[in-house]
Structure 1
Amino acid sequence: MLRSLTLRGRCLLAAGTAAALCAIVLDERDLLRVAAFVAALPLLAMWLSGRTRVALGARREVDPGRVAVGSDTTVRLHLGGRGRLPAAGLYLEDGVPYALGGRPHLRLDRPPGQHGTVVEYRIRPALRGIHRIGPLHTRVRDPFGLAESENELAGHSRLVAVPRVVSLTGLPAGSGLGAGEDGDRRLRAGHGEDDTMVREYRHGDDMRRVHWKMTARRDELMVRLEERPRHGGVTVLIDHRAAAHRGTGAQSSIEWAISAAASICLQLHARGQRVRLVTVDGSPLTGGVDGYSGGDGDTAVLDALAALQPSPRRDLMCGTDPGAGQELIAVLGSTTATGVTELTKLRPHGAHSRAVLLNVRRWSGESTDGGFDTGETASRLRASGWTVATADGPDSSIAAVWDHLCRQSSPMQHTAVPR
């Protein structure tokens, strides 16, 4: 329990103390008595407020507990208990971070009663992240508002604010047809989605699975694959280096990049692609043993991006191919020539490599940005066979950039995205 004087109480105590000093100097006993009473009143109020016991229990409910940035959620406080409330009522203060809108101040004038009561308020997260709401405190004041005591009623609750997702359309040409399909050569025996898939015969294969028509055509034993072919998968790399981004808060370039990565992952999932989301060091953020997730991995992708923090790395150094030999879509901030060289040399020849390149200079509002040149970076990537689309500022539409990247899959079409 924490007891303290209100602003009114502190002013009254200061006035009483000053009057007492004046009374002593002037030798005014009547004034001294009044001053002593004035100074003692807030101290007495603080002692009484500390002795006030309110038999009250509380439970917090956040509905929904997972929400996109900019969307509303409701916090319900279920209060129960018996007994009388102080004459001045009961003040409730819930610990809400600034990113969620600030702390609400509520007042309870009636006791909850036998069946309890519910007090609710709404919050709207302005920033993604794993936010903690709480603790819930009660503030009991004396009737004159001179002192108050504070008690904790409920602990913390979690609210996950996931990145804002933009609806996208289309896929880049050849997306999902990465190299290295488990080392197998999978050939169609006919046409259509349900056609039989075959591969070369291996020692130990059941002879009943031999596809004689394809064996005769290729002049080697071929066996049926009963399962449908698996796409090689797509890796989405999110550049979350603090040094690679500019701006602050929800309008920073890193938040734009994270929102773009989330939107791309969900679009790939919706199109049946297996997606692997990795950080600047190539570490998977989601997925199973191989790091890939399917259409049921939307929640995992959004939760991982909600918790993602800026990396202290200065440059883009993965060490190994971040795409694991498959298709790669990188969402990049400011990248040096060394970072571009490191990234491109790790990619196998012929693998689909695409990049959404942020012109972070437009987020900083500065004409120069530490020597980083988005145009030069884009040229270096394209010279290495990458497909590049540029986000030219905070007003750039993620959907427009993605659409442009899809169109850039055609040869000899490399231009910047209009704002």
Structure 2
Amino acid sequence: MSTQSAEPTEFRESPSRSRRIATEQPVTLRAKLHLGFLTARGWGLFATGTIALLGAFLLGRRELLAVSLFLLLVPLLAAFLLRFGKADLKVTRTFNPQQAITDSGVRVRLHIMHEGRDAGIMQLRETLPTDFGAGPGFSYPSRTSGHGPAGSGSWYEYRLRLATRGIYSIGPVQAQVADVFGLSARPATLDAPSALLALPQCNALEPTGIPGEHGSHGQASSNRRLTPDSFEVMTREYRPGDTVRRIHWPATARRGALMVRQEDYRATPRAVLMLDRSRAAFLSQGVGADPVVSIPQFTSPPKDSSKRFEWGLHAALDIGAFLADTGFGIDLIDHRGDSINEVSASGTEDPYELFAGTYASTRMAQSLAALGLEDAAPVRRDPASATLGAALKERLRERGDRLVLILGETTRAQADSWLEVVGTRSRVTVLCVVSRHDQGHGAIAHLRQAGWSAVAVTPHSSLAEAWAELGKQT
């Protein structure tokens, strides 16, 4: 086997994340006349045959006629066999690491091999998203490609640096397939695109107290007292997708409907993180509008985001990781009460997963990786909806449970709506991501008067400082 690195060895998106279109090659006369099914060598052989055929007629030489027919038919036969023939090529694409982190490098390795007849010489080019420009080019087989009982192949490697979270479409490998004599060539797609998941970075918060908590470190209390009828409190109705192993049969027999267990609900207090993803809250219109950030969705159209929404999403991840480390189970929902796993293309298998334990931050980062703003019309619905109210009522049942609201630009009227749907319960933390520091003061003051911890931040604010300020409002 051999390893041949692609040049250039690294591709990076532009800092502005604007789309950069690769320079198109000028259309040649050969392309206009659709003469690409033969190579320059093939057309040279065909032209020689044509001249020989003309000479055979002029000179009356039968042997020259046979040579001319041979020269004419060989490139055409090569093109025919190449068009309907198939080289057994197999492309294996691997990523290291399997899930990339934004602003960090990832190595892409290609293993291309074939079985059976010789695949001939091919010029390969990897297909990358438009932001990366033209993909790296290779020549197959490489000069020192290996041969074995399973076939022969070559290894190629290049690096990517992903500036935006999302699900990137890497591939397929485009090839210029040629016959063994180099007389004919045709374009071919060797494989299907591979999905590369880019996770948002998770930054650890300082181990300070939790806003609204009393104690030295704000650790979540877990000494819940169970009652004889605790299964009634610890169960909920069966939802599609729940595993059969979670069915609580005593509660099912008593209620007459399928009931499933809430894993350690009483022993583990819950923190609900509500991330507003409405377009009106994070994409302002008119003069000074927020620039749109595109979030790749593999082969689907990209989702829209903005700098303010990216700040709010990273804040949700960092706060969620911090609360999970202090003993909370994290429940991520959006402004409509839907689970993030349901509305994100990178959501985990269980739409009602409670993020807790050692890998809570990684699982949350995976769920948030492809999340974008809502696709609905720019009219923002009233947050005091029945769905959101029902979702919060279902999720927040214990006194130790907490609610963190991450909102966009919020007016005084919208603050009243949030107070109406959530209620005047304590242990509510609010971060409003605004464009300028002088925005949102009225809404923040109104929320604080209701007993909530609230602060306004901008995309340039420090989450650690904002979290510390929320702690002082306890």
The TM-score normalised by the length of structure 2 is: 0.59
Superposition deviation, residue 198 in structure 1: 5.2
Match of 2:447 in 1: 381
1:146/1:318 Cα in 2 relative to 1: closer, same or farther (>3 Å)? Answer: farther
Match of 2:291 in 1: 247
Superposition deviation, residue 290 in structure 1: 6.4
> Distance between the aligned counterparts of 1:9 and 1:133, measured in 2?
26
1:197/1:384 Cα in 2 relative to 1: closer, same or farther (>3 Å)? Answer: closer
> Distance between the aligned counterparts of 1:146 and 1:333, measured in 2?
62
Contact 1:99 1:126 in 2 (8 A): no
1:76 and 2:109 matched: yes
Superposition deviation, residue 318 in structure 1: 4.5
Match of 2:331 in 1: 276
Aligned partner (choices 361, 364, 367) of residue 304 of structure 1? 367
1:260/1:135 Cα in 2 relative to 1: closer, same or farther (>3 Å)? Answer: same
- Greater Cα shift, 327-336 or 100-109: 100-109
Match of 1:104 in 2: 136
1:56/1:263 Cα in 2 relative to 1: closer, same or farther (>3 Å)? Answer: same
Match of 1:351 in 2: 426
Structure 1: which amino acid aligns with 2:137? H
Contact 1:9 1:147 in 2 (8 A): no
Contact 2:202 2:361 in 1 (8 A): no
- Superposed, 1:318-333 pairs within 5 Å as 318-319=384-385, 320-321=388-389, 323-324=392-393, 325=396, 326-333=401-408
Structure 1: which amino acid aligns with 2:140? L
Contact 1:279 1:285 in 2 (8 A): yes
Match of 2:43 in 1: none
Match of 2:313 in 1: 258
The TM-score normalised by the length of structure 1 is: 0.66
- State how many pairs are aligned: 332
Contact 1:175 1:234 in 2 (8 A): no
> Distance between the aligned counterparts of 1:340 and 1:243, measured in 2?
15
The DSSP-based 3-state class of the residue aligned with 1:75 is strand
Instruction: Report the identity percentage.
Output: 21
Deviations 1:331-370 (A, max 9, x none): 11112333221211122434211111111358xxxxxxxx
The DSSP-based 3-state class of the residue aligned with 1:131 is strand
Structure 2: which amino acid aligns with 1:73? V
Match of 1:317 in 2: 383
1:65 and 2:98 matched: yes
1:126 and 2:163 matched: yes
Deviations 1:360-408 (A, max 9, x none): 358xxxxxxxxx9422221222222221122223x2223332233233x
Q: Which runs of 5+ in 1 are unaligned?
A: 1-5, 16-32, 34-43, 178-192, 205-226, 363-371, 411-419
1:342 and 2:417 matched: yes
Match of 2:196 in 1: 159
Structure 2: which amino acid aligns with 1:299? T
The DSSP-based 3-state class of the residue aligned with 1:292 is coil
> Distance between the aligned counterparts of 2:370 and 2:383, measured in 1?
22
1:238 and 2:275 matched: yes
Structure 1: which amino acid aligns with 2:452? W
Deviations 1:224-256 (A, max 9, x none): xxx996243111111111221133327621111
Superposition deviation, residue 156 in structure 1: 2.2
Contact 1:333 1:360 in 2 (8 A): no
Aligned partner (choices 202, 206, 210) of residue 172 of structure 1? 210
Deviations 1:194-239 (A, max 9, x none): 998757x7699xxxxxxxxxxxxxxxxxxxxxx9962431111111
1:260/1:173 Cα in 2 relative to 1: closer, same or farther (>3 Å)? Answer: closer
> Distance between the aligned counterparts of 1:129 and 1:400, measured in 2?
28
Structure 1: which amino acid aligns with 2:458? D
Contact 2:340 2:351 in 1 (8 A): no
Structure 2: which amino acid aligns with 1:352? R
1:172/1:46 Cα in 2 relative to 1: closer, same or farther (>3 Å)? Answer: farther
1:10/1:98 Cα in 2 relative to 1: closer, same or farther (>3 Å)? Answer: closer
1:195/1:285 Cα in 2 relative to 1: closer, same or farther (>3 Å)? Answer: closer
> Distance between the aligned counterparts of 2:157 and 2:200, measured in 1?
25
- Greater Cα shift, 108-117 or 148-157: 108-117
Superposition deviation, residue 80 in structure 1: 1.0
Structure 2: which amino acid aligns with 1:69? T
Structure 1: which amino acid aligns with 2:101? A
> Distance between the aligned counterparts of 1:310 and 1:195, measured in 2?
35
- Superposed, 1:136-155 pairs within 5 Å as 136-140=173-177, 149-155=186-192
- Greater Cα shift, 94-103 or 250-259: 94-103
The DSSP-based 3-state class of the residue aligned with 2:340 is coil
> Distance between the aligned counterparts of 1:8 and 1:45, measured in 2?
26
Superposition deviation, residue 262 in structure 1: 1.0
> Distance between the aligned counterparts of 1:8 and 1:196, measured in 2?
72
The DSSP-based 3-state class of the residue aligned with 1:339 is helix
Superposition deviation, residue 54 in structure 1: 5.1
1:294 and 2:356 matched: yes
Contact 1:234 1:323 in 2 (8 A): no
1:128/1:59 Cα in 2 relative to 1: closer, same or farther (>3 Å)? Answer: same
1:237/1:117 Cα in 2 relative to 1: closer, same or farther (>3 Å)? Answer: same
1:129/1:345 Cα in 2 relative to 1: closer, same or farther (>3 Å)? Answer: same
